[in-house]
Amino acid sequence: MKQTTLKLFVLMLFVLASVMAFITNSHAQKSQAAAMFPHPVAGRSDSTIHTEFPIADLLSARSLAQQQGDKPVEQTRKNIQVLKGLPESRLFPVMNFIGDSLGVRCSYCHVNNGGDKWEWESDAKPEKKTAREMMLMTLAINKDSFSGNQGVTCYSCHRGQTHVVGMPPFPLPPRESFLEDAPKRDTSLPTADQVFDKYVQAIGGKAAFDKLKTRVWKGTYVTSNGTSLPYEIQQSAPNKFLSILTTPKQGVFTMVYNGTSGWQQNARGLHEYSGSDLAELKSFTGFFGGINIKEQYSKVRVVRKEKIGEREAYLVRGESVDGNNERLYFDAQTGLLLRRIVVEKTMLLPLPEQTDFEDYREVDGVKLPFTIQVYNIDSAYTATRKFTEVKHNISVDDAKFKMPNQN
């Protein structure tokens, strides 16, 4: 059996991000441009997430982009001058990264005529011209000075301010003597293999996981604006799962993968995953398995010790099988995973997502985090999963993993 703790974590994040995309789409249907993609300011700018989910057959941004072939943004929107080639599905995350870096909202550069009446293509505001110049500058610096790697971003200089600070503030902090020796690398650090082996043992070891055939999680999903919703995941080895999110008025949102097919469903209908979306969903059922963690990374190394809260942790850096750079923080004493940071590359900016794992409890010989906190550039995807109950090897109806008739 391949099911593992860490695999479940990643799977839950994918499931919940897709569900949260329903929220971000609630305002988008009011204009033609926004009808196909989530509202760019949902939850973090001029509008906020409502506590109710929209009753609509809107799909996640990734699903919609996949249906359209995830065309480059210049084919789907007007007046694109710098970001040509950027996939449509990554436009809003990149824009939100820029807004967060400067501490501003979409209306800082874009024309808004009230509510969801945006003139995205308008160049009426001089700030938009400046933004284009800054994008070109960032691209040039990274190309010329960092061999094409994303060494600098908007945040490197702005740090939440629209104007860059060019001088250090007085009084200056004490300066170390130039005669002092440079700090030496900590030669007592364990190897990545040693850290991974300790983690596998900390969560219970392969033999303990091999005994588990089903798992049911129950708890709540708390959005970034404090809305708390009942949440449940049902799993059947080796790779079947069903997530259930219950809303007060719009009913139940589900996402299912049965080992071959995947789909999501709400009160208005069903959407089957295909292409890249299905491939990604499928990969999460076996990707980044805690027991097989060594197989999931290349160029892995232990960098240093860092503090995560009050805990000392080993920082392990590596490249995942899908090409993303990742940082993993393992408790130096217990060996448990405390934090995972995934950095997705785009043509202009990296898009980070941080996941914190807390409140580990032993259930049937394996240790699981009962609190999982996700932080994302888009606050609509920032949320906390708090589980109150986990049960193994209980009956899970296999019929639930059969796709309903779409007629």
Q: Could you tell me the pLDDT band of residue 248, with boundaries at 50, 70 and 90?
A: confident
Per-residue tokens: 72? 């480059």
pLDDT above 60 (res 163): yes
Q: What is the pLDDT of residues 132-151, one digit of tens each?
A: 999 999 999 999 999 998 99
**Residue 378: pLDDT band with limits 50, 70, 90:** confident
Tokens of 154: 């908007």
Whether the per-residue pLDDT at 20 is higher than 80: the answer is no
* Better pLDDT: 405 or 371: 371
Listed residue (360, 363, 357, 372) closest to 393, CA to CA: 363
Is the separation of the CB atoms in 222 and 369 below 8 Å? Answer: no
Mean pLDDT of the chain: 79
Per residue in 261-317, pLDDT tens? 999 898 888 988 887 667 666 766 553 356 778 877 888 999 999 999 999 999 999
pLDDT digits (tens, 9 = 90+) for 191-227: 999 999 999 999 999 899 888 889 999 999 998 888 8
**pLDDT tens digits for 85-98?**
998 888 988 999 99
CA 249 to chain centre: 27
Q: Which residues pair with 138 in a beta bridge?
A: none
For the chain, the distance separating the N- and C-terminal CA atoms, rounded to the nearest angstrom, is: 35
C-alpha Rg value of the chain to the nearest Å: 23
Average pLDDT over residues 116-126: 94
Q: What is the C-alpha separation between 380 and 293, in angstroms, rounded?
A: 29
- Identify which has the larger pLDDT, 11 or 270: 270
Q: Among 19-28, 106-115, 221-230, 391-400, where is mean pLDDT lowest?
A: 19-28
The pLDDT assigned to 182 comes to 58
Neighbours of 18 (CB within 10 A): 22
Contact status, residue 383 vs residue 222, Cβ threshold 8 Å:
yes
Identify which has the larger pLDDT, 83 or 10. Answer: 83
In the DSSP assignment, the letter for residue 4 is -
CA–CA distance, 24 with 37 (Å, rounded to integer): 9
More confident residue, 65 or 378: 378
Alpha helices in 77-214 (DSSP H): 91-102, 126-145, 154-158, 192-202, 206-210
With 60 as the cut, is the pLDDT of residue 250 above it?
Answer: yes
Query: What is the pLDDT, as a whole number, of residue 188?
Result: 85
With 0-12 / 13-18 / 19 or more C-beta atoms within 10 angstroms meaning exposed / middle / buried, residue 220 is middle
**More confident call, 365 vs 11:** 365
Mean pLDDT of 41-46: 31
- Segment 17-22 shows an average pLDDT of 39
Bigger pLDDT: 379 or 150?
150
Residues 334-345: what's their mean pLDDT? 92
Q: 336: Cβ–Cβ under 8 A, 6 or more apart, which residues? A: 199, 202, 203, 330, 357, 360, 367
Query: ∠ CA 58-60-61 to the nearest 5 degrees?
Result: 110
Average pLDDT over residues 224-239: 89
Residue 398 has pLDDT above 80, yes or no: yes
Contacts 24+ apart (CB under 8 A), 222-229: 222/383, 222/384, 222/385, 222/386, 223/20, 223/23, 223/49, 223/380, 223/383, 224/43, 224/49, 224/379, 224/380, 224/382, 224/383, 225/43, 225/48, 225/49, 225/51, 227/49, 227/51
Share of the chain above pLDDT 70, in %: 77
More confident residue, 128 or 275: 128
C-alpha 285/C-alpha 237 separation (Å) is 10
Residue 69: pLDDT over 90: no
